[in-house]
Amino acid sequence: MALTKKKGTKATPKLPDINALKQVNSNDAGAFYNSLFSAQHKVEYANKDIALSNIRTNPDNEIFRNLDEEDDIRILSEDIKRNGLMHNLVVFPTEEEGREVYVLLSGERRFRALKYLEEQGDSSWKVVRNCNVITTPLTANEKKVLLYSANLQVRGGFGDEAVRRQAIAEFINCLQQAPYNMSREEALGATKTVSSVNPRTIERDARIEDKLKGALKKLLNAKILTRSECETYLRFEDDKQEDIAKRFVALSNINCYGDDSEGAGKNHIEVMRDTLHDTFREYLFDVQRQGTTKDYEAAYEKALQYFDDNINDLKAKAEEYGKAKETSSVEEVAAIEHAGQKEAALDLVKKERDVAENNTSIIQKATPRMVKKLQQAYTSRNFVKALRGVSKESREADIAALNEVIDIATKLKEKIESIE
């Protein structure tokens, strides 16, 4: 394979750049593939007509396949019917039950559009003309890298954050395997080169996939958690991530007896559920702002306890509301809901106040420790005795340090007082 060498590093197979990737769906697909390999190992390909029934989809393309809506395939089929197949399918041969068939490396959407036309009675696509058949032996990982390279470039920002994130993580993983054997940093850099996704987004995607653990990641993929809050959760240790995930799962499993019909708003139980979610999130954010291990652990336990105390109350309210919906008239349920919305509004105010009280400022967190140390020095007889034994220069340095503290404290106090 084509190798690029850097001084002091081992050679790694060359990856396609964006311009090369744009050729993947063109009739000159062979040039694209040959850009990946050296003159000693060029990719050979043959131009061949293949029966549509002998073409197979690629299992590695499943993650991207989920992005394609049936309407998209139908619209593409109409375009092909009007204008013909403008870009060739790219395939590689394999055996299936003793006969040769062909697996797609590029062009699955076009293939599905052709299948749709055939199902609609259009027999003109029973044979796909001028397919580019890769005949050079490639490893399974090489094929996957080629497929992912094309998709990461062509699909741009993707329509689904979870799919994009998983695709980027899998591509990085492939580049760390033979024959590429890149470090994670090299693979991340190569992904930024190949993909049209914003480089900072790629870094965040890779970090989430690498650091966010199983259950939390499932909640993110299910859109129960947001990407931004997960940026904080991934900073917790594995066991703490598991604790956090258990609580969010428990919260999501509460039956709020909501109305799923289009245009229906959230009932008061759903509002209370969301309020508890948001408040727990803020408590967890505060954990990461702590300056010492002791404060960190105390804030973490406080966050868990706050959640545990409140979820039981929410469960009881949800069960009570569910029973009322089963046994009460429509008018009675409406009255219960009206009163419940008022309660939910008060609950929101209370929890916002709890968060404000919990999220003490950096000054409030730092000052007690400093005051305590200075107080210990002031009341210590040993400190006074020790002062008599130090030089005048040392005492003057102590005074200068205290004056510096007094000066910055005075400035901060004046700044705070100036705020209306």
Average pLDDT, rounded, for the chain: 85
- Per-residue pLDDT, 386: 77
| Single-letter residue type at 411 | K
Residue 157's pLDDT band (cuts 50, 70, 90): low
- Per-residue pLDDT, 291: 85
- Per-residue pLDDT, 82: 94
| pTM of the predicted protein model | 0.71
Q: List the single range of 159-173, 205-219, 374-388 with lowest mean pLDDT.
A: 374-388
- Per-residue pLDDT, 368: 59
Residue 25's pLDDT band (cuts 50, 70, 90): very low
- Per-residue pLDDT, 11: 41
**More confident of the two residues 258 and 410:** 258
- Per-residue pLDDT, 363: 61
What is the sign, positive or negative, of the torsion defined by CA atoms of 129, 132, 134, 139? Answer: negative
Query: First-to-last CA distance in the chain?
Result: 68
- Per-residue pLDDT, 403: 83
Residue 34's pLDDT band (cuts 50, 70, 90): very low
**260-277: average pLDDT:** 91
- Per-residue pLDDT, 115: 97
Residue 182's pLDDT band (cuts 50, 70, 90): very high
- Per-residue pLDDT, 5: 32
Q: Distance between CA atoms of 151 and 89, rounded to whole angstroms?
A: 14
Q: Is 371's pLDDT higher than 90? A: no
**pLDDT tens-place string over residues 99-133:** 999 999 989 999 999 999 999 999 999 999 999 99
Q: List the single range of 219-223, 237-241, 257-261 with lowest mean pLDDT.
A: 257-261
Q: Distance between CA atoms of 276 and 251, rounded to whole angstroms?
A: 9
- Using CA atoms, how far residue 239 sits from 186, 233, 236, 242, in Å, is 30, 12, 8, 5
**378-385: average pLDDT:** 74
Q: Is 391's pLDDT higher than 50? A: yes
CB crowding 245-266: b at 16 or more within 10 Å, else e: bebbeebeebebbeeeeeeeee
**344-349: average pLDDT:** 86
**260-276: average pLDDT:** 91
Residue 14's pLDDT band (cuts 50, 70, 90): low
Q: Percent of the chain beyond pLDDT 70?
A: 85
Q: Is 282's pLDDT higher than 50? A: yes
Q: Percent of the chain beyond pLDDT 90?
A: 58
- Per-residue pLDDT, 39: 39
- Which residues 6+ apart lie within 8 Å of 76 measured at CB? 109, 110, 113
- Per-residue pLDDT, 40: 39
Q: Distance between CA atoms of 65 and 63, rounded to whole angstroms?
A: 6
Residue position matching structure tokens 């229906």 = 264
Q: Distance between CA atoms of 41 and 36, rounded to whole angstroms?
A: 9
Residue 156's pLDDT band (cuts 50, 70, 90): low
- Per-residue pLDDT, 84: 93
- Per-residue pLDDT, 2: 38
Helix H or strand E encompassing 92: strand 90-96
- Per-residue pLDDT, 360: 56
The CB density around residue 155, as the number of other CB atoms within 10 Å, is: 17
The CB density around residue 166, as the number of other CB atoms within 10 Å, is: 17
- Per-residue pLDDT, 29: 37
- Per-residue pLDDT, 384: 72
Q: Is 373's pLDDT higher than 80? A: no
